Chain A
Amino acid sequence: MMLNIKNVHKQFNGVDVLKGIDLTVDKGDVVAILGPSGSGKTTFLRCLNFLEKADQGEMVFDGERFDLHSASRADIARVRKKTAFVFQNYNLFLNKTVLQNVTLGLTVAGKMKKAQANEIAVQALERVGMANKLSSYPAQLSGGQQQRVAIARGLVSNPEIIYFDEPTSALDPELIGEVLAVMRQLAEEGMTMLVVTHEMDFARHVSSKVLFMADGYVVESGPSEAFFANPQQERSRDFIKSILEARK
């Protein structure tokens, strides 16, 4: 077991957004976090990388214990070093080229030599099919291209896990496929991933586990095949049904 998260609680302005979330992730798992809007999926993911400070909760990462509420600055830095985060809105550095976006963490935070960082960055950009746009700025790219660069930016630090926060939700429908293809390829290569998503096909066919959340609780979790074939909870059944119906 690589990641063991226990009892994550979070309030926003007195409203309970997370009411005790548990999750276990093994190496190579691709976990799809599903649930209706407002169920706390994104908040949960952000708490794991300390983008939000949980009110309570514990994470064991590679045998190391971290308190999600009161982790020290050094602990937070250590966790972030082992992880990458892909945002819904890409959040590429707007004043940097594609290549600089991918190398900045390596050269500035990791003190790596520029030549070496460039080499690593180009390899990562090749993996996501963006090596032909090295000197473009984010504003010159489509959303799908920006998100692929953002994935490459995450890859170069050799993370043990990548968190995806609704990576395709801001994309035009015709651009979703290229991003999902990259994610599917990563999954096949054995990358451990935690993906907040509304893409049911991805959850069903690519992810190995599903965490289904509603109203700040985990309603159901387990292998994705079983979740889709035979959901145990009424709430899960309704959710799957409503999504399938919406598609018709």
Chain B
Amino acid sequence: MNERLWNILVDSFPKLLRYGVEVTIPLTILSFLLALLIALIVALIQYANVKVLRQICRFYIWIIRGTPLLVQLYLVFYGLPSVGVVLDAFPAAVLVLGFNEGAYMAETMRGALESVSRGQLEAGYCVGMNYLQIMLHVVLPQAFRTAFPALGNSMIAMLKETSMAATITVMEMFRQAQVINGRVYESLALYGEVALIYLLFCTILSWVQRLGEKRLATYGGARS
């Protein structure tokens, strides 16, 4: 490897890493928390079969799953201003990423909720608890345990999808790689480098996921 290329890589690495830690990771965490909140609400509405709201949830999932993330980003950031809704790039990205992944995670959560036996609910009623108390103490903890691996996957997917925010001018890690590349024209080296950092982040996340799965209560069952 020639010295120039080496210097470019060494120079850019801390810059990329900095944008990764300061922008990509916060963007991931905020979007994930929003997605989790949406998923929980949407899944609970469907589980409890609340009329009208349930229809709205199905409609939301239908729209989100049927359109590309990139198009959603453009619609919100470039499209909405023409009807007077102007968002900064970062909050727009959080919103779109959150609502996007939220639709997928809602299906995960719904499946997990439905995997909890109805008998748990009946037993809860019979010892005097109300619906909310049973959900909180019995059904949701079991559903979360079931959904945990899939939710972890969603978080990893989301970390990578934050790179799309570059297209709506969010100065995150991938956008930073583009900017540096604009100066030095070493696409293979720079995009390779940024790919490695994403790989590093995702590897750490999957470690955390596996650790979490091990530490989470198994309720005495032999879960693999």
Contact = CB atoms under 8 A, between A and B. Distances in A.
Contacts of B141: 95
Interface string A128-151: 000000001111100000000010
A108 B137 contact: yes
A47 to B, nearest CB: 13
Nearest to B221: A139
A172 to B, nearest CB: 19
A91 B124 CA distance: 9
Interface string B63-84: 0000000000000000000000
B142 A95 contact: yes
A80 interface: yes
Contacts of B142: 94-95
A34 interface: no
Contact of A93 (B124, B125, B221): B124
Interface string A23-42: 00000000000000000000
A209 interface: no
A139 B220 CA distance: 6
Nearest to A137: B220
A143 B117 CA distance: 17
A153 B127 CA distance: 8
Given A51-B122, A91-B117, A109 B138 contact: no
A101 B123 CA distance: 10
B129 interface: yes
Contacts of A49: 126
Contacts of B137: 93, 96, 104, 108
Interface of B is mostly: helix
Interface residues of B, number: 23
Interface string B207-224: 000000000010111100
B128 interface: yes
Contacts of B123: 85, 87, 91-93, 150, 153
The residue among A51, A94, A153 with the most chain B CB atoms within 10 A of its own CB is A94
Interface residues of A, number: 30
A84 interface: yes
Nearest to B118: A91
Contacts of B203: none
Contacts of A138: 219-220
B210 to A, nearest CB: 21
B127 A91 contact: no
Nearest to B119: A91
B55 interface: no
Given A89-B119, A109-B133, A139 B127 contact: no
A180 B137 CA distance: 30
A95 B145 contact: yes
A105 B129 contact: yes
A104 B219 contact: no
B129 A137 contact: no
A162 to B, nearest CB: 10
B49 interface: no
B187 interface: no
A93 B122 contact: no
Contacts of B127: 84, 104-105, 109, 153-154, 157
15 contacts: A51-B122, A84-B127, A87-B119, A87-B123, A89-B119, A91-B117, A91-B123, A93-B137, A93-B138, A95-B141, A95-B142, A96-B138, A105-B129, A137-B221, A157-B127
Interface of B: 117, 119-120, 122-130, 133, 137-138, 141-142, 145, 217, 219-222
Q: Closest 5 A-B residue pairs measured CB to CB?
A: A137-B220, A105-B127, A109-B128, A91-B123, A91-B119
